[in-house]
Amino acid sequence: MSYSKDHVRQIRYSDRDGSSSGMGEGLSLPGHGSNEGDALMLATRNPFYLMAGLYLLVDALAVAAMALVTAGLLPSIAGLTWLRVHLLTIGVVTQVVLGMLPGIAAARLGANAPDHRLTQITWLLVNTSFVLLLVSMPAGMTKLAAVGATGILAATALMLGAVIRGRTRPAGRRVSLRLYVAGPIFFLVGIVMALSMLLGWSSPGGYFGVIEAHVHANVWGFLGLVVAGVLFDRIPARTGQPLRYPRLVPVTSWLLIIGAAGLVAGPWLAINPMLLVGIVLYMTGTGMLIVNLAATMRAGKRWTPNLAHVLLAYIWMVVPAIIAPAYLLMTGKLPTNEIETSAIAGLVAGWILQIVISALPSRIGEEQGGAGRRDGWWFSVAMLNLGPLALWAAAFVGATTAGSLTVLGYVLILAGWLPPLLLVLKRLFTGPGSPTDRGQPVTDPGTSPTPARQPVLGR
């Protein structure tokens, strides 16, 4: 049995005051209705999702180019690795977050929906700035890149202001809201770190300390915290079960936030003990998050491809934190460049991409009334985990075999990427999907017509 539109609304993980956690609420542009016959309904209602879908396509092309370059079928392309990573992180992830977070936070705070004019300004600012980055970074135009980074910083600050302002009536505080605020703050810090590299600002940790802090702020701070908040909100709705261990949620959130702070401050200040403490705290919080989500999914007894993407993605997130110390203990040496390259590639494809794949098609389906929604492909689950495995294996073999494994990894990733990518593009440009959409059906989260209310967490 598939979700009906009304049932989706019923099971949304809501606050005690009944506020819905609908993502992207209040983001509709003026003059556009929600008529299901409108072929460009989603593209006109939430332009952030339109750009996320387009950048997801461009990023897939960048991965294909990386496979061809590695195979020797294309010459080296300047800045290709940077483009591949940032097309996914800024082009896709940031667009989705900017598109959904103000609406979620408005519901949590009991505030008015964000003004559509602010949405339009934010959308124009972030996309214009990102185009500047795409043009300037591969060309080595650091001043122009700094202008682009500043524009993204301003767009994020506008979004963060929309998240925390406008409280109009009391509302139960929620852990997810804490994470939704902390995540963008880390992103602002990450952008400042990028500006410091572009403009040559000094730091106690030097240039490489700033690079590490920049990556940690964006990946484990911004993305990690926002994703954790979304999972706390959405997994109970997807499984039809309350969180298995609700008492762990406030502790989990603080471990992630404080751990992320250590991961950013440690390398920037060149204080390795602070970095190590940050790693321990963050991995402890991540372990608690995984246990809570896995137990909730197990109680729901509905293992779908997208739920599998979520759990397996977190394995790839913690792999670098396990392999790097293990390599150091076994060899007495710091991880090689090959290991660092595999860690980045595995993190981007194994964790970030799987989170995007598990969320974006479903999110667009909900925006379009839930018609024809499917909960993923087991084929994609297999390919998007075998691919990162091949990329990691390439770090521990000879150069010739490593090249072949790297190409294989990229091909597997692209194969798993293709079905959800085509579904995203179909829904963006042809309107709501149909019941004939291929993939795993989304099952009814519960037989009772009355929604079970989730406890308010993190008071």
67 domain residue, yes or no = no
Name the E strands within 33-122: none
DSSP letter at 352 equals: I
Phi, psi of 66 (to 5 degrees): -65, -40
Amino acid at 186: F
- The amino acid at 7: H
Residue 27: inside a domain, yes or no?
no
Contact 386, 410 (CB under 8 A): no
φ and ψ at residue 75, rounded to 5 degrees: -70, 165
Q: Identify the domain containing residue 395 by its residue range.
A: 303-441
Hey, what amino acid is at 51?
M
Q: Tell whether 134 is covered by a domain.
A: no
Instruction: Establish if 266 belongs to a structural domain.
Output: no
Query: Using N-to-C axis directions, what is the helix angle for 378-393 and 399-430, rounded to 10°?
Result: 150
The DSSP H or E segment spanning 447 is none
Render pLDDT for 67-100 as a digit per residue (tens, 0 to 9). 999 999 999 998 899 999 999 999 999 999 988 8
Q: Would you say 38 and 17 are in contact if contact means Cβ atoms under 8 Å apart?
A: no
> 111: which 2 tokens?
């505030």
Separation of CA 347 from chain center = 12
- The whole-angstrom separation of Cα 331 and Cα 159 is 46
pLDDT of residue 40: 40
DSSP conformation letters of 255-323: HHHHHHHHHHHHHHHT-HHHHHHHHHHHHHHHHHHHHHHHHHHHHHT---HHHHHHHHHHHHHHHHHHH
312 located within any domain = yes
CA 378 to chain centre: 20
Is 345 within the bounds of a domain?
A: yes
Six-digit token pair at 86? 């940032």
pLDDT at 84: 92
pLDDT at 95: 92
Q: How far apart are CA 342 and CA 330, in angstroms?
A: 19
Q: Which residues pair with 374 in a beta bridge?
A: 441
Ranges of the chain with pLDDT below 70: 1-45, 107-113, 165-174, 328, 332-336, 368-373, 431-459
Query: Is this prediction's pTM over 0.85?
Result: no
Is 448 inside a domain boundary? Answer: no
Sole residue written with tokens 């929309």? 162
CA dist 81 and 66 (Å) reads 8
Question: Which residue's structure tokens are 């759990």?
Answer: 311
- Any domain includes 370: yes
96, amino acid identity: V
Count of domains in the chain?
Answer: 1
